[in-house]
Structures are given as structure tokens and as C-alpha cells.
């Protein structure tokens, strides 16, 4: 219940609810001179280390000589009402206060970088000294004691204003409600409370200004958003008469461990899904060693590798337990952790039942096992969707694509074992590899060739197919094509290798309709399919993070 205030109307006294405070900022760029005093004051007040900033002043040279000028933009956290970082944070380390400030608690940050991936404004960074997520928080510790933020105090032209958006008498409320103000990336629907007055569009839109070739800036020689010197980026193909002249570097939060985790997780989930499908089809009995032992051991091994990669990618791996002890349930990282844990329990019970000689229990566990394996395969699509900053990942077909990849990976991982434990399962496994790989290639084609809804998604797709990540992407496509060809040809190759030359034609015909399809041809198809998925996932995950956000 909000606090109460006493008000009077005529002779009577009444009690009315006090208006809650809602802090907001206005950056008046008609006054900003680009002096960087706000950046220095912020670093001093909040002890921000070298190499990272909570706020900085970006500059863009607008126009063509002699009619050219320099435009500035003070870049910082946008204090969103619907903050994606708060939703994505698994432990509540990023949280929204009642007064509208999005603050953070470093003591419970596990360093998963989900908040960085989610922020459409590139305002969050990992502190290199304490390895926790950090950003502008309006100097909440100063506001709480009646002081203005450090940047507001030092600004020589009063270009930075802070005030109560719910107080109609405050300068901030007057400017927001009466003057022409803008916000960055309104299409993300985050309801930011950082408003810009008089800012040039070339500074607000991270793609509007051309970036210097080779990443050479006015006062630095830094890579432009990770682009190596001399490598042109597709967003430089703009007709805008604007050149970015000062910026700070920003790196992708998720690297090779996340790319590899999607692959190991796909194998762990796909093994179980494929074996249950084979058993229901009649190609495998419920008492076959491949089901009794292969499902829990192979699936469990790759699930353990998945957990190890996830924990190793944290900046504070020793705090991983906080996901389970203080979960923030809107985060798909939390939901995924509990899904993986539940799937691990099913696999452990399956293995214990096999050791105890109870074949009926693994069959009974198949129903919850299939559900959990399916969720394990697809939940990453929803985790990626919570990264609202990464438009390439906002694909409604992504859950289906992850499921298809899991089926391919599971079938491919099982093929070498099926040759010894369940020869009759070799042919249906190859069918899954061939059909799944063909569908995977179709989904890849749709991602690369069909129109994208936003410029960010379009540019990320171009980086994947023709830019920095074109090599792993093209390797993934060609290896996928070869996997389909090898899977289709494997039965015939196996039959031909076992027949005299006089029977080659009849053996080839028979192999097209029957055969176990194990052997070197099947193993080659499996290896090609797994390699195709691995390199494609790396290209997809990294390309989704390469488009500049600030």
C-alpha cells in the first residue's frame, strides 16, 4: 500500500495517497557540448575501472563540408519500465525498484551475461575487477539521500536533468510531456525513462552513421564492435552523410562455449528422443542394450558436458547454485536449468533401473523423459528470444529448428553404437540423419534468404552468410549437404562392398529398400552431420551478437 499524505479541501481534512516517485532523465542535446565531464564524474563517483564505462558521450560528424557539424549523444542505461535485463537475470541481481530505477546487486550476480545479451541499448558490462554485471543506476545511492546524480552535478551546461516523471512541476516532466523528445529503439517496447531532447537521429540509431573503415576513430585505434581492422562491415553501406567519430568498444557476451553448449545439449536430448521413437516404431526393443544403457550413458555424458560448459561460461561459477536457491522464474536460464536438472534425474533413474535389472522402469520413464528431452532441446530458443537486443534470434521457427537439430545430433551420435548393439536400427537412424539434415538445410535457407523484419536482423544474417562468419556458415551448409548424400548412399555402399561384381546391380537395388545401413558409410554420414551442426551453430550464435547496438 502506498504511503498516505494529508490534504485539505475546504473545512474538511482528508487522507489521500502520496504520489509514488518515478525517476527519469532528460538529455538536452541542444545544450550538450561533448565535454565528457559526465563520464569522468561517473567513473569517479562509482569507482568504474579503466576500459569500461557506465556512461559515455558518442559523437557523430553530420553533413558534408562545408555544412558539417558534430552531434553528440550521452549513452547510458535507459532505465526501462519493462526492462529486458530484469526479466533475463536468473537470480534477481538486476531488479527494478519501486521508484522506477533499474538497479543491481553484485553479491548475487553469477556472471551469466544474460542481461548484456538482453539489453537493446548495450548499456551493461562486466566489471573486469569484480566480474559482476554493472551499469548506470541513476546514482541511486545519491538520490536516496537527496542528492543529484554525479553527472547532473558536474554538467557545465545543465544538459542532463533528473526528476520525478510523476511530478507535473518537475523540469523533467514538463520537457517529456510538452517538448519534442525521443527515445532509443522504441520498437523494442521497453518503455525507457531516458529521453533525448534535440538529439540527431544519426546518434540515436546505431546503424544510421557510417563507421570508420578499419575501426579507426578520432582518438583511438580500436576495433569497431569487434570488427578486425580492414574488414568492412555491411552496415557501412549507407547513404547517410554521417560518420561515427567517437565510440567505445563493445564485445559479444556469449562466445564459443555457448555455441558448443547448443551442440552438446542437442545430442543429450536427441539421443533419448530418437531411441524412444525407434522403440515405438518397432525398430528397437525396450530391452535392447542400446535403449537400456545407451540412452542414460550417452545422453548423460553429453548432458554433463552441457552443464560443465554453462558453468564454465559464468564469470562467477562458484555462485551457480543461486539459480536453484533464489530463482527468478521469468528467466529462461532458470527454467532451462530446472529442465536440465529434471532430465538428468530421469536419466539417472533409467541407469539405476538398468543396473538393477528392472527393464520395465525405463519404459515407464519414457513419457516424462520424452517431455523433458524435448524441452531440453528447445528451451534455448526461448532463452535466445529473451535476448531482445539480438534480432536474428527472434525467429518463431527457432524452437522447431532446435528440435530438428537435436534429432539429427541424437541419431548421428547413436549410429556407431547401433552397428554393434542394434544393427536393425541402423537404417532408421540414417533416415533420421538424412531427412533431418534436409529439413535443417531448408530452415537455414529460410533464415538466410527470406526477408527479415528489422535492419538489425538483416545485417546479422548478412554477417553470417557473407561477412565475418561466412566460413563456418558455408562449411556448415556444405557439410550438411554431404551428410544427406552420405546417409542416402550408405545402404547401397554397404551392400555393394559385400557382394561379388556380378551381383552389384541387384545388390544396389535391394539396398535401396532394405538393409541395416551400418558400416563406414553410415559413420561418415554421422560425422558429417555432427560437424555441420557444430560449425553452423557457431556462425549463428556469433552472428546474432555482432550488430552494433549503441
Indicate the range of 28-32, 143-147, 453-457, 498-502 predicted with least confidence.
498-502
- Asked whether the predicted pLDDT for residue 517 surpasses 70, the reply is no
User: What CATH fold (topology level) applies to the domain 256-543?
Assistant: Formate dehydrogenase/DMSO reductase fold (1.20.1630)
Whether the domain at 23-246 and the domain at 256-543 fall into the same CATH topology: no
Q: In this predicted structure, what is the pLDDT of residue 126?
A: 95
pLDDT grade, residue 370 (50/70/90)? very high
What does the mean pLDDT of the chain come to? 87
Burial 50-69 (b: 16+ CB within 10 A, else e): eebbbbbbbbbbbeeeeeee
- Asked whether the predicted pLDDT for residue 101 surpasses 70, the reply is yes
* CA atoms within 13 A of residue 81's CA, in its CB half-sphere: 10
C-alpha cell at 4: 498516505
User: Torsion angle, CA of 39/41/44/47, rounded to 10 degrees?
Assistant: -50
C-alpha cell at 375: 524441452
Segment 527-534 mean pLDDT = 96
Place of cell 549437404: 481
Residue 491 preceded by cis peptide, ω within 30: no
Place of cell 545422453: 299
> Are 347 and 292 spatial neighbours (Cβ–Cβ below 8 Å)?
no
C-alpha cell at 290: 542400446
Closest CA to 254 of 302, 207, 215, 310: 310
Say how far apart CA 259 and CA 384 lie, in whole Å: 12
> Are 44 and 123 spatial neighbours (Cβ–Cβ below 8 Å)?
no
Segment 114-129 mean pLDDT = 95
Indicate the range of 65-79, 204-218, 394-408 predicted with least confidence.
204-218
Say how far apart CA 192 and CA 314 lie, in whole Å: 28
Helix (H), strand (E) at residue 302: helix 295-312
Segment 84-108 mean pLDDT = 96
- Asked whether the predicted pLDDT for residue 515 surpasses 90, the reply is no
C-alpha cell at 206: 546505431
pLDDT digits (tens, 9 = 90+) for 259-302: 999 999 999 999 999 999 999 999 999 999 999 999 999 999 99
> Are 92 and 100 spatial neighbours (Cβ–Cβ below 8 Å)?
no
Closest CA to 545 of 448, 466, 450, 459: 459
Q: How far is CA 210 from CA 326, 492, 537, in A?
A: 44, 55, 29
- Asked whether the predicted pLDDT for residue 220 surpasses 80, the reply is no
Q: In this predicted structure, what is the pLDDT of residue 18?
A: 60
- Does 393 or 489 have the greater pLDDT score? 393
Closest CA to 250 of 75, 91, 466, 472: 75
β-bridge partners, 125: 134
pLDDT grade, residue 495 (50/70/90)? low
Q: What is the pTM of this model?
A: 0.88
Q: What percent of the chain has pLDDT over 90?
A: 71
Closest CA to 516 of 289, 283, 294, 287: 283
Helix (H), strand (E) at residue 345: helix 332-356
Q: In this predicted structure, what is the pLDDT of residue 209?
A: 82
- Does 415 or 492 have the greater pLDDT score? 415
> Are 93 and 104 spatial neighbours (Cβ–Cβ below 8 Å)?
yes
Q: In this predicted structure, what is the pLDDT of residue 247?
A: 81
* Residue positions counted in the chain: 550
Say how far apart CA 319 and CA 110 lie, in whole Å: 6
Neighbours of 80 (CB within 10 A): 25
pLDDT digits (tens, 9 = 90+) for 420-451: 898 889 889 999 999 999 999 999 999 888 89
- Asked whether the predicted pLDDT for residue 239 surpasses 90, the reply is no
The alpha helices in 386-519, defined as continuous H runs, are: 398-421, 426-449, 455-466, 470-497, 504-511
- Asked whether the predicted pLDDT for residue 230 surpasses 50, the reply is no
pLDDT digits (tens, 9 = 90+) for 295-325: 999 999 999 999 999 999 999 999 999 999 9
Q: In this predicted structure, what is the pLDDT of residue 237?
A: 47
| CATH architecture for segment(s) 23-246 | 2-Layer Sandwich (3.30)
Say how far apart CA 263 and CA 343 lie, in whole Å: 17
Residue 243 in 3-state DSSP?
strand
- Does 113 or 500 have the greater pLDDT score? 113
Angle at 376 between CA 371 and CA 377, to 5 degrees: 100
- Asked whether the predicted pLDDT for residue 505 surpasses 60, the reply is no
Burial 372-405 (b: 16+ CB within 10 A, else e): bbbbbbbbbbebbbbbbbbbbbbbeebbebbbbb
> Are 250 and 549 spatial neighbours (Cβ–Cβ below 8 Å)?
yes
Q: In this predicted structure, what is the pLDDT of residue 299?
A: 96
> Are 161 and 196 spatial neighbours (Cβ–Cβ below 8 Å)?
no
Q: Is the alpha carbon torsion for 144, 150, 154, 158 positive or negative?
A: negative
> Are 182 and 204 spatial neighbours (Cβ–Cβ below 8 Å)?
yes
Place of cell 536449468: 337
pLDDT digits (tens, 9 = 90+) for 157-178: 999 999 999 999 999 999 999 9
Delimit the domains of the chain by residue range.
Answer: 23-246, 256-543
> Are 330 and 292 spatial neighbours (Cβ–Cβ below 8 Å)?
no
pLDDT grade, residue 67 (50/70/90)? confident
Phi-psi region of 194 (alpha: psi -120 to 50; beta: other; left: phi over 0): beta
Q: In this predicted structure, what is the pLDDT of residue 519?
A: 65
Amino acid at each position: 500500500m502506498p504511503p498516505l499524505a494529508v490534504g485539505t479541501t475546504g473545512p474538511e481534512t482528508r487522507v489521500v495517497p502520496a504520489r509514488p516517485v518515478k525517476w527519469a532523465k532528460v538529455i538536452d542535446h541542444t545544450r550538450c557540448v561533448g565535454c565528457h565531464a559526465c563520464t569522468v564524474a561517473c567513473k569517479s563517483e562509482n569507482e568504474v575501472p579503466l576500459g569500461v564505462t557506465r556512461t559515455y558521450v558518442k559523437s557523430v560528424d553530420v553533413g558534408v563540408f562545408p555544412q558539417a557539424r558534430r552531434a553528440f549523444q550521452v549513452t547510458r542505461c535507459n532505465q526501462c519500465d519493462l526492462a529486458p535485463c530484469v526479466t533475463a537475470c536468473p537470480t534477481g541481481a538486476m531488479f527494478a525498484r519501486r521508484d522506477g530505477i533499474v538497479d543491481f546487486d553484485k553479491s548475487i550476480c553469477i556472471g551469466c551475461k544474460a542481461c548484456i545479451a538482453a539489453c537493446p541499448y548495450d548499456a551493461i558490462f562486466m566489471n573486469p575487477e569484480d566480474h559482476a554485471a554493472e551499469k548506470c543506476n541513476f546514482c541511486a545511492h545519491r538520490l536516496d539521500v537527496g542528492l543529484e546524480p554525479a553527472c547532473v552535478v558536474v554538467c557545465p551546461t545543465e544538459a542532463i536533468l533528473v526528476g520525478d516523471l510523476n511530478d507535473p512541476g518537475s523540469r523533467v516532466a514538463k520537457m517529456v510531456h510538452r517538448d519534442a523528445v525521443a527515445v532509443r529503439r522504441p520498437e523494442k517496447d521497453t518503455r525507457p525513462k531516458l529521453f533525448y531532447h534535440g538529439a540527431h537521429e544519426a546518434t540515436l540509431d546505431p546503424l544510421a552513421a557510417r563507421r570508420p573503415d578499419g575501426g579507426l576513430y578520432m582518438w583511438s585505434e580500436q576495433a569497431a564492435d569487434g570488427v578486425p581492422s580492414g574488414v568492412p562491415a555491411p552496415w557501412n553501406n549507407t547513404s547517410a552523410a554521417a560518420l561515427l567519430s567517437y565510440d567505445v568498444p563493445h564485445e559479444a557476451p556469449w562466445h564459443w562455449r555457448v555455441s558448443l553448449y547448443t551442440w552438446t545439449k542437442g545430442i543429450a536430448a536427441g539421443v533419448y528422443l530418437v531411441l524412444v521413437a525407434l522403440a515405438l516404431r518397432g525398430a528397437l526393443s525396450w530391452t535392447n542394450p542400446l535403449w537400456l544403457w545407451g540412452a542414460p550413458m550417452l545422453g548423460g555424458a553429453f548432458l554433463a558436458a552441457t552443464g560443465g560448459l554453462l558453468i564454465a561460461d559464468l564469470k562467477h561459477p562458484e555462485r551457480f547454485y543461486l539459480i536453484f536457491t533464489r530463482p527468478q522464474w521469468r528467466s529462461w536460464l532458470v527454467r532451462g536449468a530446472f529442465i536440465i536438472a529434471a532430465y538428468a534425474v530421469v536419466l539417472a533413474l533409467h541407469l539405476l533401473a538398468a543396473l538393477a535389472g528392472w527393464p520395465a522402469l525405463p519404459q515407464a520413464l519414457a513419457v516424462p523423459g520424452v517431455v523433458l528431452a524435448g524441452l531440453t532441446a528447445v528451451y534455448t530458443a526461448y532463452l535466445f528470444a529473451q535476448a531482445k537486443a539480438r534480432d536474428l534470434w527472434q525467429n518463431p521457427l527457432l524452437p522447431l529448428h532446435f528440435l530438428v537439430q537435436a534429432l539429427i545430433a541424437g541419431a548421428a551420435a547413436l549410429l556407431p553404437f547401433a552397428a554393434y548393439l542394434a544393427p536393425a536400427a541402423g537404417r532408421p537412424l540414417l533416415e533420421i540423419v538424412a531427412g533431418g539434415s534436409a529439413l535443417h538445410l531448408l530452415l537455414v535457407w529460410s533464415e538466410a534468404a527470406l526477408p527479415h523484419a528489422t535492419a538489425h536482423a538483416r545485417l546479422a544474417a548478412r554477417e553470417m552468410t557473407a561477412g565475418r562468419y561466412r566460413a563456418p556458415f558455408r562449411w556448415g551448409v556444405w557439410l550438411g549437404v554431404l551428410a544427406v548424400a552420405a546417409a542416402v548412399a550408405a545402404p547401397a555402399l554397404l551392400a555393394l562392398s559385400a557382394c561379388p561384381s556380378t551381383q552389384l546391380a541387384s545388390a544396389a537395388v535391394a539396398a535401396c529398400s532394405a538393409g541395416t545401413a551400418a558400416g563406414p558409410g553410415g559413420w561418415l554420414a554421422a560425422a558429417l552431420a555432427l560437424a555441420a551442426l557444430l560449425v553452423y551453430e557457431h556462425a549463428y550464435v556469433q552472428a546474432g551478437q555482432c550488430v552494433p547496438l549503441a
